[in-house]
Amino acid sequence: MRNGMLEASPTSLSPHGLRQLALWWVVAMLCATLFTRLIPPFQSPDENVHLLRAAMLANGQIMLQPSTHPHIHDSGLVNKDFADFAEHGARSRPFYGTEHVNDLLRQVIANFAKKHDWSGELTLANSGGTGYYTPIIYVPHAIGLWVSKQLNLNLLASYQFTRALVVSLAITLAFYACSLWRPNALIVMLLLTPMSLFQWLAPTVDGLTTALLMLLLGLWVKLFRSPDGYRLRDEVLIYAIVFVLCTTRTHLLTTLMIPLSLLYHRFNWRRLAALAVLVVCVLGWQAYAASISGQTFLKRQHSTKEIILLYLNHPGEFFAALWRTWHFEPLVKFVRQGFVGLLGWSDAPLSGTKTTNIYRFLIAGAIATIWIGLPWLKKFNIVRASGLVMAVCSVFIAYFALAVGFNDYPTLLIDGIQGRYLIPVAILAAFSLGPITAGIRQYKTIELALLALFVPYSVYCLVELLMRYFGTSLFG
């Protein structure tokens, strides 16, 4: 700030800034290469079904096919050996069932994957729950598996190649987003908690959706600071990203407010028509996905459609269940833990001390972000207000989606929520609370100090827990 006025921020990175960003990208890629050595295959939640869905797409199956099997709803044909690799890999987690030490089993599975390739027969496999997600989000995974098959790689090498491709793409998209706008310190901390780092390293959809959200926010700010408020390429990309996010993460349906805010900012009929088409496509996919997908292991008296109608007719019952859920300490603790550090298949928590310390860092980051953002409080009012509304509404949509899709009716508590689901929501809130600038803002000293303390501590928490949980080593 100079003479009470905000200093103008450059609208793009300087050559020096781009070199710095490229250097940090190299560091991130090297760290990802190192840290993925600590995580055996299929050790993140639902990783097996995500990669099975990608394998179906790699085989040319764009939509899931119906099955007469009572326990296979979201199904498709995949290589039988790969299906066995995915199934048994997921069961080899340290605390699966009553087993506590599965090192030997993981070694047996790895040896199996090394000895088998893609030449085996096809079998009907269950990718339960993935029918809700647009096939677009699985294109990177499918490309990795397809290329592996063409190169005749064994199954373990195929997995490693696909994971490297997906992780690299997610990290690269996130860094590209940072070339468009400068995330505040709180957002960076949210992206680098042990839980977030674990998601970046997994070949699921979490890292990709977070990176797409970062890119969406960057493009949003870029269009708002554009003199004419209209850049066709960027706007088309915004609509595409919103569609993918809305059809991959139901609680991010709120991102439809971003093209709506652009329409309000500078109205034209082309934008109105594009928004109408986008809404129809999103709602159409949601209706289609609800009709063909489902949690077949749940024994419920009502279908998802019936539960939605029941709650719409009796909204008080939903809010009563939500209130009870927010005051039920075991579920609150589970969500609180899962937001910053509940790794593995949600069975590898950070210690209480480390969890508390991570939250202390986040609180300090929030205070610093709000304080630094005060001079920008009246800038980008539409963006800031929309971000806060999206964050709040996303929380309610997340619980409503689980109430109708994962619980019976009526329900005392809404089960199924995980803390990691709320990380994108927190990013939206942090985006709105901090400085939103018309260019590439320089970090303040307090932000740099917080990040210099937080990032090494978070990485230490991640590495220590992974090594202890899986019994792996960075250089072993």
Band the pLDDT of 97: cuts 50, 70, 90: very low
Is 348 in contact with 465 (CB distance < 8 Å)? Answer: yes
pLDDT in tens, 388-397: 999 999 999 9
* C-alpha dihedral (267, 215, 199, 242), degrees to nearest 10: 30
pLDDT, mean of residues 297-302: 72
pLDDT, mean of residues 322-334: 95
Helix or strand holding residue 147 (H, E): helix 139-150
pLDDT at 33 over 50: yes
pLDDT at 458 over 70: yes
pLDDT in tens, 124-173: 888 888 888 999 999 999 999 999 999 999 999 999 999 999 999 999 99
DSSP 243-259: HHHHTT-GGGGGGGHHH
Is 251 in contact with 394 (CB distance < 8 Å)? Answer: yes
Question: 27-36, 227-236, 390-399 — which is least confidently predicted?
Answer: 227-236
Q: In DSSP terms, which residues pair with 348 in a beta bridge?
A: 343
Share of the chain above pLDDT 70, in %: 91
What is the rounded distance in angstroms from the CA atom of residue 192 to the CA atom of residue 390?
22
pLDDT value, residue 100:
46
φ/ψ region of 403 (left if φ > 0, alpha if ψ in -120 to 50, else beta) reads: alpha
pLDDT at 294 over 70: no
**29 three-state secondary structure:** helix
pLDDT, mean of residues 285-310: 77
Return all residues near 147 (Cβ < 8 A) that are at least 6 apart. Answer: 161
pLDDT in tens, 167-209: 999 999 999 999 888 899 999 999 999 999 999 999 999 999 9
pLDDT, mean of residues 85-105: 70
Q: Please classify residue 315 by burial: count the beta carbons closer than 10 Å to its beta carbon, then call 0-12 exposed, 13-18 middle and 19+ buried.
A: exposed
Question: One-letter amino acid identity for 180?
Answer: L
What is the rounded distance in angstroms from the CA atom of residue 450 to the CA atom of residue 360?
11
pLDDT at 65 over 80: no
Share of the chain above pLDDT 90, in %: 64
pLDDT value, residue 297:
53
What is the rounded distance in angstroms from the CA atom of residue 253 to the CA atom of residue 398?
10
pLDDT at 102 over 70: no
pLDDT value, residue 4:
37
Angle between helices 206-225 and 423-433 (to 10 degrees): 20
pLDDT at 424 over 50: yes
Cis amide bond preceding 70, omega within 30: no
Question: One-letter amino acid identity for 71?
Answer: H
Return all residues near 254 (Cβ < 8 A) that are at least 6 apart. Answer: 389, 390, 391, 393, 394, 397, 428
pLDDT, mean of residues 310-327: 95
pLDDT value, residue 438:
54
pLDDT, mean of residues 51-65: 92
pTM (two decimals): 0.93
